[in-house]
Structure 1
Amino acid sequence: MIRKKGITFCILIISLAGIVACSNQLQDRGDHHNNEEEVIEKQYKEEEIMKEFEQISKEDLNLDSIVSFIDKNIGRVSYKNAGIMVTTLEEAQKVFLKNLEDRFYTPETQEGLDKLFQVEMKLDCLADAAKGDLKELLEESTAKGYKLAAAEGAIFPIIDYDFYTKYSSFVDEELKAYIEVMAVHSKKLSAVDAALVIGWEELVQRAIQQEKFIEKYPDSDKIEAVKELSNWYRYYIFNGLPNTPLFSHKDDEMNPEAKSVYASYIQRESEGKLIEEIKEFMCLLEKNGYKGSKEVENFIEDVLQNN
């Protein structure tokens, strides 16, 4: 009798297990089905978002609308589509910049900016001090992702790549790296009025950052923009500028700060084409008593041409 009850109990346990297993399978199928529906729904919504974005981006370069749309929707799309949004904004900014420059380069605007601008005053403070149409122009420029730069007695707009850093976490690593390279440059320009406005240390540091991007992403859509920037930095490294020469106009002596910085870099850095070129450059200069010469000029010309 006891044995019979035991068998019955075992059968009951097995039956319950089967019911639970079937229930779990149905639940799994249900969850899978729900997941599929969620994926399909997300894809549909993303397609709708991108269609709307495409339409907005074609409407007379309305940068305010483009920026507003990206801010609201970039977190709802894939890395790929987020990249399309950011790249579209950049291209629109480049086109609109020509229009904006025309509005800045009028005698009235430049005269108004010149009256406001004081020594040591930050350019981004001009909008606070301005009034009327000039204030509207400056505030519009900032809202559209531009910042002010000054050179040769004029104040003008440039693309503010620091504006793009808020999108960095939504795009892939390649575009994120590009934004970082461009933001470093636009945050503080390397040269103004034929003079370096950053130190030799930062000059080399930025150039290395640009070189790393070029080496890591040789097929990037942004490669030409970074190469163009890199070429300028390399020119400054090996030549300096008229108002910040690498070699003294008086006696051809190498700038002592640059000499110290370059020596420091070749001691602690071992990789990269730029570092190898600086090493060769410093070896040649050592033989020449760290002075400019025809041999040094030929070396610089070869380095810049073969880049």
Structure 2
Amino acid sequence: MTSLYSSARRQGLRMFMTVTAVAVLMQTGAAGITGMAAAAPSDSEAKVTTSSSTAIYNTFQSTLQKKNGLSAADTYLESNIDKVTTHHATLMVLQLENARTKGLTAMTDRMLVPNVQDKMIKAYKWNDSFTQLMERTKDSELRTLLKEARDSGYRLVMLEGALYPIMNYMAFQKYNSHVKPDIKQYINIMAVETGNLVAEDAALKIGYQEILNRALNQERFLQDYPNSNRVKQVRHLLNNYTLYTFYGLNNTPLFDYETNTMVASAQKGYKAVLQRNSSEDSDLLAKLGAFMDVVTEAKYQKTSAVEKWLDQKVPNGNYTGF
């Protein structure tokens, strides 16, 4: 088991995680909240802002900056978010996201320690949550670690034989009614990503229609909120989904390696999505429609004409998954 959790193994698994939706989670902290701090509250929120909102915001910041402050800051925010302006609520939620993202690396390292992984895997059952795993182990130190991970805003997943913490964006949805519309939509997009990961072991885990549905939601976000603080994260996500759409992944390619034929489920799924969304103004769907015309002409074979179209219209040279 020791070799499985060596430094090289950890680096390899983290590289895989950057290919999936988790890549966006790893980048969120770096984006910060630039551009939001200067935003002015609305007139309807002025009374709150002058006193309680600012005080709560300052207390939240100091709580979050304390050692092991993720859980306490979340508890404080949940108890007080209805007493602050939308502006401050949004800032605090994004700051909490940044802090959780920053803390994820350290929590991952603690869980990948060989004897910790051994104990976790021994007690683990498929699809376990941190809470369920806590209930199965008698090891007090492990229970403490699992509780800390859960309360810090992470969820448990099995990736290539190892148990990992990842961001739990469903835990942010309790704040949706208090934050600005773009951040609410962002949280919902990310909750879908972390609730059901798109890929594992360089293979797609969801169907082609679901891939497109997620990508369209991401595209709508960019259209509706071009100045959102989280544009960079969603654009990165859409870039990945565009490449999933037109290439698949190494272990689930869009065109079968042996026959060079486009997989039947993709043919059917893409046609269905194009027909269902025929009236939508979407660059992605327009590109997919053109692609399907070329592929249909090639009788669903990956011919030189298809490869040329992909090279020109959807280049993959900057994508780490290929």
Measured after TM superposition, the shift of residue 217 of structure 1 is 1.2
Specify the code of the residue in structure 2 equivalent to 1:274.
L
Check the 8 A contact 2:254/2:266 in 1, yes or no: yes
Q: Deviations over 1:41-96 (max 9, x none)?
A: 76312222122122222223510111011011111111111001100100100111
Measured after TM superposition, the shift of residue 222 of structure 1 is 0.5
Q: Look up the match of 1:285.
A: 295
SS at match of 1:52: helix
In structure 2, how many angstroms separate the alpha carbons of the residues matched to 1:126 and 1:41? Answer: 42
Which of 245, 265, 286 matches 1:276? Answer: 286
Q: Look up the match of 1:195.
A: 203
Matched, 1:149 2:154: no
Please state which structure has a larger fraction of its residues in helix. 1
In structure 1, how many angstroms separate the alpha carbons of the residues matched to 2:80 and 2:294? Answer: 55
- Greater mean deviation of Cα atoms: 42-51 or 167-176: 42-51
CA-atom RMSD in angstroms: 2.1
Q: Which runs of 4+ in 1 moved over 4 A?
A: 38-42
Matched, 1:217 2:225: yes
Q: Look up the match of 2:260.
A: 252
Q: Look up the match of 2:241.
A: 233
Measured after TM superposition, the shift of residue 299 of structure 1 is 2.2
Matching of residues 30-179 of structure 1 within 5 Å: 40=47, 43-60=50-67, 62-118=69-125, 121-124=126-129, 125-132=132-139, 133-179=141-187
Measured after TM superposition, the shift of residue 117 of structure 1 is 3.0
SS at match of 2:177: helix
In structure 2, how many angstroms separate the alpha carbons of the residues matched to 1:39 and 1:265? Answer: 46
Q: How many residues align?
A: 269
Check the 8 A contact 1:61/1:96 in 2, yes or no: no
Q: Look up the match of 1:242.
A: 250
In structure 2, how many angstroms separate the alpha carbons of the residues matched to 1:235 and 1:187? Answer: 21
Specify the code of the residue in structure 2 equivalent to 1:97.
L
SS at match of 1:148: strand
Measured after TM superposition, the shift of residue 280 of structure 1 is 0.6
Q: Structure 1: which 5+ runs fail to align?
A: 1-37
In structure 1, how many angstroms separate the alpha carbons of the residues matched to 2:232 and 2:127? Answer: 31
Which of 284, 295, 302 matches 2:305? Answer: 295
In structure 1, how many angstroms separate the alpha carbons of the residues matched to 2:65 and 2:146? Answer: 24
Specify the code of the residue in structure 2 equivalent to 1:151.
L
In structure 2, how many angstroms separate the alpha carbons of the residues matched to 1:117 and 1:252? Answer: 40
Specify the code of the residue in structure 2 equivalent to 1:304.
V
Provide TM-score, normalisation by structure 2.
Answer: 0.79
The share of aligned pairs that are identical, in percent, is 33
Identify if the C-alpha distance between structure 1 residues 40 and 303 changes in structure 2 by more than 3 Å, giving closer, same or farther. Answer: same
Identify if the C-alpha distance between structure 1 residues 211 and 40 changes in structure 2 by more than 3 Å, giving closer, same or farther. Answer: closer
Measured after TM superposition, the shift of residue 232 of structure 1 is 1.5
Specify the code of the residue in structure 1 equivalent to 2:312.
D
Identify if the C-alpha distance between structure 1 residues 277 and 112 changes in structure 2 by more than 3 Å, giving closer, same or farther. Answer: same
Provide TM-score, normalisation by structure 1.
Answer: 0.82
Q: Structure 2: which 5+ runs fail to align?
A: 1-44
In structure 1, how many angstroms separate the alpha carbons of the residues matched to 2:223 and 2:167? Answer: 25
- Greater mean deviation of Cα atoms: 43-52 or 168-177: 43-52
Check the 8 A contact 1:63/1:93 in 2, yes or no: yes
